[in-house]
């Protein structure tokens, strides 16, 4: 007999903005975005609900956001801080259940199946406790949905944001979904939604009344998935580990820059930042990617793969070469970015790295400890 699952989806509300409001309470209740600049350059990474009322959304150019909401407050962002808080919250949630999956920096799934007796068979009370713990211990608002699978739990969360709680009891999934718009189902974006509406589908109930054969004919394999979710199904597997796939940093300049020397200095700063974050995790990288955007918004990327390292000068030399090869136009640059990926952890793969840590490893470790204790600017490794 298959055990009925109990899965919670926890979503931090306007995470980046909420973190900034902790250190700057004057931002509370005001339209705020994190990302971009006050001059309208860059892209919005997170928008407060006050800003969303004006149509401001994440991934929107900051210039467009400011036109929609002239009183908008633009905050640069503290991405190291966001990552640290997310890590700490993840560790805290493991106190409630051993199965926690990080879906992203600001959301996670908790598999509570099998823990029911520990919480007096009252999981709705537990998710209230979880929400209060996030508020009291981290000073952050969050929304939590509880259902029989991940998909329904996430849909539940989306219905009660911000700072809400939603429980979908077992056996009520279809009734819960029925009156909702078809776009609540993950994977039904603007294009698919418009197509389905042309075919007469408005609510999830319309999908429920349709046959899987018709949906498959309309959308192929995606139609099978839609029918499954509309009937209350979804993924029931919570992965108990989260592997970060990349570490990156990019900067949109307040004014376009054409001087190659200045651009290379800025590139070293970006490289130094991502390498420091890499060493904090005790990882090494095998791939670096350069992102370059011209003043006319034409964007190029260049990547190179190499032997695993976390050494700033080694990685910077590769980045610099990619830049010199990629910067082929006379136009100035408005954005540069550096991204590391394909990580290895020497502690988990002892056969990959021969011998004891080198003197260079010891130096990098010492530099890292000094920067963590006294700040990022106290010491630099050097570009050569």
CATH number reported for the structural domain that contains residue 333 in this entry: 3.30.1490.100
Q: Which of 78-82, 144-148, 157-161, 223-227 has the lowest mean pLDDT?
A: 78-82
Q: Mean pLDDT in the chain? A: 88
DSSP E strands in 135-185: the ranges are 142-147, 165-167
Domain match, 18 and 121 both: yes
Sheet holding 73-75, edge to edge: 46-47, 32-34, 73-75
User: Do 258 and 333 meet the contact criterion of CB atoms below 8 Å apart?
Assistant: yes
| Domain with 305 in it | 246-374
Domain match, 178 and 155 both: no
Question: Which tokens hold the place of 87?
Answer: 């890590």
Output phi, psi for 20, to 5 deg. -65, -30
Q: How confident is the model at residue 80 (pLDDT cuts 50, 70, 90)?
A: confident
Q: Which residues form the catalytic set?
A: 107
Mean pLDDT of 180-195: 92
Domain match, 210 and 137 both: no
Mean pLDDT of 85-100: 92
DSSP letter assigned to residue 133:
H
What pTM was computed for the model? Answer: 0.68
Q: How far is CA 92 from the centre of its chain?
A: 19
Hey, which residues does 143 pair with through a beta bridge? 11
Domain match, 206 and 256 both: no
Q: What percent of the chain has pLDDT over 90?
A: 68
Give the pLDDT confidence score for residue 245 in this predicted structure.
76
Does the structure show a pLDDT above 70 at 312?
yes
Q: How far apart are CA 216 and CA 36, in angstroms?
A: 42
Hey, which residues does 284 pair with through a beta bridge? 344
Domain match, 251 and 353 both: yes
Q: How far apart are CA 81 and CA 21, in angstroms?
A: 13
User: Do 13 and 142 meet the contact criterion of CB atoms below 8 Å apart?
Assistant: yes
Give the pLDDT confidence score for residue 349 in this predicted structure.
46
Looking at the 3D structure of the chain, how many domains does it have? 3
């Amino acid at each position: 007999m298959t055990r009925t699952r109990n899965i919670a989806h926890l979503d931090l509300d306007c995470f980046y903005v909420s973190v900034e409001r902790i250190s700057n309470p004057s931002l509370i209740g005001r339209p705020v975005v994190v990302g971009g600049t006050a001059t309208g350059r860059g892209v919005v990474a997170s928008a407060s609900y006050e800003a969303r009322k004006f149509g401001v959304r994440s991934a929107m150019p900051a210039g467009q956001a400011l036109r929609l909401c002239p009183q908008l407050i633009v905050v640069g962002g503290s991405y190291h801080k966001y990552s640290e808080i997310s890590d700490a919250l993840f560790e805290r949630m493991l106190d409630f259940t051993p199965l926690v999956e990080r879906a992203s920096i600001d959301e996670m799934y908790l598999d509570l199946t099998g823990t029911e007796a520990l919480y007096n068979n009252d999981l709705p009370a537990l998710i209230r406790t979880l929400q209060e713990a996030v508020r009291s211990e981290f000073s952050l608002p969050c929304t939590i949905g509880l259902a029989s699978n991940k998909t329904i739990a996430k849909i539940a969360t989306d219905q009660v944001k911000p700072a809400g709680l939603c429980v979908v009891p077992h056996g009520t999934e279809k009734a819960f979904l029925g009156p909702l718009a078809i776009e609540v189902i993950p994977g039904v974006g603007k294009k698919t939604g418009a197509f389905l509406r042309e075919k007469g589908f408005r609510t999830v109930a319309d999908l429920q009344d349709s046959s899987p054969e018709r949906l498959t004919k309309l959308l192929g394999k995606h139609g099978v998935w839609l029918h499954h979710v509309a009937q209350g199904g979804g993924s029931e597997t919570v992965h108990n580990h989260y592997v970060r796939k990349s570490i990156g940093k990019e900067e949109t300049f307040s004014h376009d820059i054409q001087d190659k020397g200045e651009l290379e200095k800025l590139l070293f700063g970006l490289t130094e930042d991502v390498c420091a974050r890499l060493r904090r995790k005790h990882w090494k990288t095998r791939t670096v990617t350069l992102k370059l955007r011209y003043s006319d918004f034409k964007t190029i990327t260049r990547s190179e793969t190499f032997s695993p390292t976390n050494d700033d000068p080694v990685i910077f030399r590769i980045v610099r070469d990619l830049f010199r090869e990629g910067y082929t136009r006379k136009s100035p640059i408005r954005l540069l970015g550096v991204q590391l990926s394909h990580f290895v952890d020497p502690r988990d793969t002892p056969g990959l790295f021969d011998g004891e840590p080198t003197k260079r490893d010891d130096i990098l470790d010492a530099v890292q400890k000094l920067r963590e204790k006294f700040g990022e600017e106290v010491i630099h490794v050097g570009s050569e």
